[in-house]
Amino acid sequence: MFEIKCRDGMGRLGELQTPHGVIETPALLPVVNPKKLTLSVDELEECGATSLITNSYLIWKEKEFRERATKEGVHGLLDWDKPIMTDSGTFQAYMYGEVEVLPEEIIEFQKKIGTDIGTMLDVFTIPKTNFSDAEKELEETNKRMKVAAEMKGEMALNGTIQGGLHMDLRSRAAKMASEIDVDVHPIGGVVPLMEKYEFSSLVDIVMNVKMNLVASRPVHLFGCGHP
Q: Which residue has the higher pLDDT, 163 or 9?
A: 163
* DSSP classification of residue 210: H
pLDDT at residue 41, rounded to an integer = 83
pLDDT at residue 56, rounded to an integer = 97
Q: What is the pLDDT of residues 119-140, one digit of tens each?
A: 999 999 999 999 999 999 999 9
Report whether 121 contacts 88 (CB < 8 A). Answer: yes
- Whether 37 has a pLDDT exceeding 80, the answer reads no
The answer to whether the predicted template modeling score (pTM) of the entire model surpasses 0.75 is yes
- Whether 80 has a pLDDT exceeding 70, the answer reads yes
Report whether 153 contacts 111 (CB < 8 A). Answer: yes
3-state SS, residue 58: helix
pLDDT at residue 105, rounded to an integer = 98
Task: Give alpha helix (H) positions in 79-151.
Answer: 90-96, 103-112, 131-151
- Whether 39 has a pLDDT exceeding 90, the answer reads no
Predicted confidence band at 227 (pLDDT cuts at 50, 70, 90)?
A: low
pLDDT at residue 31, rounded to an integer = 92
185 contact partners, CB below 8 Å, separation of at least 6? 158, 159, 160, 161, 174, 177, 209, 213, 217, 218, 219, 220
Q: Where are the beta strands (DSSP E) in the chain?
A: 2-8, 11-18, 21-25, 31-32, 52-55, 84-87, 117-119, 156-158, 185-187, 219-221
Q: Please pick, among 8, 42, 81, 87, the residue that the annotation labels catalytic.
A: 87
Does the annotation count 87 as an active-site position? yes
Predicted confidence band at 77 (pLDDT cuts at 50, 70, 90)?
A: very high
Mean pLDDT computed over 158-170: 98
Q: Which residue has the higher pLDDT, 73 or 36?
A: 73
What 90-96 contacts at long range (C-beta under 8 Å, 24+ apart), as own/partner pairs, is 90/119, 90/121, 90/122, 90/123, 90/124, 90/160, 90/188, 91/55, 91/124, 91/191, 91/222, 91/223, 92/55, 92/57, 92/58, 93/121, 93/123, 93/124, 94/124, 94/126
Predicted confidence band at 62 (pLDDT cuts at 50, 70, 90)?
A: very high
203 contact partners, CB below 8 Å, separation of at least 6? none
pLDDT at residue 171, rounded to an integer = 98
Q: Which residue has the higher pLDDT, 184 or 94?
A: 184
Cβ burial 49-76 (10 Å sphere, 16+ → b, else e): bebbbbbbbbbbbeeebbebbbeeebbe
Report whether 186 contacts 178 (CB < 8 A). Answer: no
φ, ψ (nearest 5 deg) of residue 36: -155, 105
Q: What is the pLDDT of residues 174-220, one digit of tens each?
A: 999 999 999 999 999 999 999 999 999 999 999 999 999 999 999 99
Q: Mean pLDDT score of the chain, rounded to an integer? A: 95
